[in-house]
Amino acid sequence: MDIGKIVRVIVIPDPAEKPVEQPILVPEWPVRKESEVDA
Amino acid sequence: MLNTTGLLGSRAIVSFAGRFYSPVYGHQEWRRGVHESSCAIDCRYVPGERHQGCGFHAHKRISDTIAFVERIRGTADCIVLTEFFGRIALHENGLRAQKARIVAVADWNPREFVRSALKPPLYPSYTNVPLIAADYFSVPMLSADEAQAMIDKSWAAYQQNRDN
């Protein structure tokens, strides 16, 4: 197949490749809501 | 219409024993879904700039693919609209790409033009390769004009993104 001379090289992301998501950080101890904190 | 995000192009595939292959590199079998190319002489990236060979090839204009199929007398060929991703080498009249996926088949049957020049027993008219391909890849059949319009639209969208 004759497609002529090369012009430039580009990158188009594959939509199937999802970006790496930020990990959800889980605290190692239970966190109480502010309303539950003892005065 | 089709839901595509990559760059579109047209290329030929050839039917053999119920499966589909590239007409030039016969070891490349086409199936449903995304294909990833590799380089026979170990380019670090595909497509590389070291030579003009590796990667999935496609034309920007369906008329160029039709001319190619006519030139090689590809009576078992059909023309497919293909979506390309990843690293892509843009050429004057087409592209070479790292990843490819067949998204539609063009309603153009090479047997119609070759049959007139050859004896019918060699090329029976009942075989419609484009119809078989559309079923095999589970993709729609588009007229050549519709497929060309989609190619033009995808290249215009790429150009617009590049300019912004």
pLDDT reading at B124 higher than 60: no
- Best of B62, B90, B151, B155 to disrupt the A interface (most A CBs within 10 Å) is B90
Query: Count of A–B CB contacts within 8 Å?
Result: 69
Per-residue pLDDT at A37 = 58
The band of A22, judged by pLDDT with boundaries at 50, 70 and 90, is low
Q: Are B124 and B112 in contact (CB under 8 A)?
A: no
Tokens coding B78: 């059909």
DSSP per residue, A1-39: ----SEEEEEEE--TTSPPPPPPPP--SS----GGGS--
Which residues of A are less than 8 Å from B11 in CB distance? 1
Average pLDDT, chain B: 86
Query: pTM here?
Result: 0.80
